[in-house]
Structures are given as C-alpha cells and as structure tokens.
Amino acid sequence: MEFNYFLTSYLPDTSVGGKAHFNHMLELAMAADCLGYKAVSLPEHHLVNLLLMPSPLQMAVRIAAATRHVELVTAVAVLPIRDMRIFAGELTQADILCDGRLILGIGRGAFAYEIERLGVPMESTRERLDESLAVLQALLAKEDVSWQGKYYRFEPLTIMPRPMRDIPMMIAVMDVNGIRECAKRGFNVQTTVLSATHDVLLERVNAFRRGREEAGEAGEGLSLSMQRVTYCARDERDAREKLEMAYGYYSRFDNVFTGPGIVTNGAVEPLPRQQTIEELGRNLLICPAAEMVDRLGLYADAGIDELIISAGIGASPEDNLEEMERFASEVMPHFSKIDRQLVA
C-alpha cells in the first residue's frame, strides 16, 4: 500500500489570506516529495473556504517546479462545470509542464452550493460527467473531432498542443454500483467513506474488486485509492485535540455536502452533527503511530492500493509538517515499497 498526501486546503480562518495559505500547501507538497510519499492530491472547489483550490492544474504546475518525485493527482477535476474544448488544452499544457507526473482524477462535483452557483443543476452532473469524459477522451486521442450530443455540439477541431503521452486517469465515485461500473470499464478508482464505518469501506473495496474481475484483461493493473482523514498523533492527548478539529471540519463539510449550504462571505458555517465525536473517532484514523500501523493493516489486507491521507483538519502548519514526518518515519516503512533514502 502506498501513500498519497491530500492537500486538503482547508482555510478555517479566512484572515490568513490566500498567499500564506497556498504557500503552506506548497510547503506540504515539498515535504511529501522529500519524505517518500508517492503522490500529492489536489482538490477542486470554488466559492468556499473548504477544500479551497479553484485551479488544481495551476497548483500542480507550481508544485512540479519545486519537487522531483511525487505524482500530482487532481482529486478531483470537476468536469461538468468546464468546457472540454478548453480543458483538454489546459490539461495537456499542465502535463507537459509537470514533466509527465500528472494524473487526472475526475468527478461530477460534490457541493451543490458551488455547482449550482456556477450555473449547472446538480441533478444533471452525472449525465454531464459521462458526456464530458467521452468528449475529453476523444479530444486527447484524435484530431479533427466533431460532436453532436446533448451538452456538446461542435464542428471538427483539434486541440493544441497535442498530448505528449496518454495521461493516466481515475474516476472519483462513492456509490458502490458506480465503483463497480467504473472498474468494469477499466478505470482506476478513487473513493472515500468520509466519516462512515470500516464496514462501509469494505463494501466499496469489494465493489471495486468485483468490477475489476468483470473487466477481465482490461482490469489487470487497476488500482483503488481510498481517501480518509488520517493524522498520526504524538500521543493520546494530541489525538483527542486533532479529533476535535476533525469534528469541526465535518460540521462544515456536512453543511455543503448533504446540508443546506449555509455560507457567509465564502466561509462555510459549522452546523450541529448527529454523529458523536466518539463515533467519529472510531471511524477516522487519528491516533499515535503504533495504533496507526495496526489499523492500517486492515486497509492493506482489504486490498486498498493507495491511502490518500487527508490531514488538513485545521492544525497549525508546524503540526502538519511534524505529523507528515512522523507518519513517514514510523508508519510508512511498514507498508510502502518506496525507498525513502532514494527520494530524500
């Protein structure tokens, strides 16, 4: 099992400002590169201070210039709000500037608050994603592409510059039927169970496994990435403090994911949660290193290929960097095949 550090890009105190915030995201990515993480993941969200990153491709290019090893994964680029004729060229340019370390994760979008304020009905996003992906694949693979569909209609055109390689893709999906279908179609999958239980996680892993088997030869080599709030704490006291931060994070996340979408001047309001903090603690991976190794063993045994570590729950920059190093030195050697000495 390999490890991908998610740049959660959570800005609970908006007075920090974008410059300091994105500088910290860059600092985390550089640390991941030195510490032997396989990849860093970049979200895409607009209009809110949660998972804040309006342009993951821009961020990927900046990180590529400051690192040597890590793969740069969009998690995820939201296709239904973009024009694929523009995005295909932006993607190609970004991959060239990232020296071929870019991996395109795509999805339909999670927050109705932002999607609908950008002019796209949330109920249309699944259908739009399907057509957008088909258009994107055609534009990347062929020249003189024309299209006559529901959301795209255009005469023959060729995106420029042409791609220098087949850019790896993965699809973000949470529904078990969707996971199975994506794997059956030959796609790598990234998923998450948010604050749900380990049993829910196993359902999604098993759905991927079934889809991969049904894909036959096309399923060989497919990978499953699981995103999870993960924080390697100094001790039990530190774990409790970070769990309380995670509870505050989810009180905002739930607001825009399944809740009413109450946002004030770009800041997502925290709302009461039905799940207790103790229940949340049992589901997330917030614990000292020895316990972390034991709990991650269940993930490896389940067949998860990559854990996407979401540690950006509101801790200080200093705590984030210290936690990254602690995880890399005390947890990763039990699982990862990457030689940390070679990337240091």
pLDDT in tens, 298-309: 999 999 999 999
What pLDDT is attached to residue 342? Answer: 61
SS (H, E, C) 73-128: EECCEEHHHCCHHHHHHHHHHHHHHCCCCEEEEEECCCCHHHHHHCCCCHHHHHHH
Q: Which residues are CB-contacts of 342 (< 8 A; sequence separation ≥ 6)?
A: none
Tokens, residue 280: 């949340």
β-bridge partners, 261: none
What pLDDT is attached to residue 284? Answer: 98
d(CA 239, CA 287): 5
Q: Is the pLDDT of residue 5 over 70?
A: yes
Mean pLDDT of 102-106: 98
Q: Is the pLDDT of residue 339 over 80?
A: no
Helical residues (DSSP H) of 215-302, grouped into ranges: 236-257, 277-283, 289-302
What pLDDT is attached to residue 341? Answer: 60
Identity of the amino acid at 237: R
Read off the pLDDT band of 340 (50, 70, 90).
low
pLDDT in tens, 257-278: 999 999 999 999 999 999 999 9
β-bridge partners, 145: 157
Domains and CATH numbers, the chain: 2-235+287-343 (3.20.20.30)
Please state, for a pLDDT cut of 70, what percent of the chain lies above it. 98
Mean pLDDT of 126-134: 98
3-state class percentages of the chain: helix first, strand second, coil last, to nearest 5:
50, 20, 30
d(CA 52, CA 73): 16
pLDDT in tens, 21-55: 999 999 999 999 999 999 999 999 999 999 999 99
Mean pLDDT of the chain: 97
d(CA 330, CA 344): 16
Q: Which residues are CB-contacts of 158 (< 8 A; sequence separation ≥ 6)?
A: 143, 144, 145
Q: Is the pLDDT of residue 64 over 90?
A: yes
Looking at residue 45, the DSSP 8-state letter turns out to be B
d(CA 172, CA 193): 12
β-bridge partners, 264: 267
What pLDDT is attached to residue 226? Answer: 98
β-bridge partners, 4: 39, 308
What pLDDT is attached to residue 337? Answer: 77
d(CA 277, CA 192): 19
Helical axes 18-35 vs 56-66, angle rounded to 10°: 50
pLDDT in tens, 279-299: 999 999 999 999 999 999 999
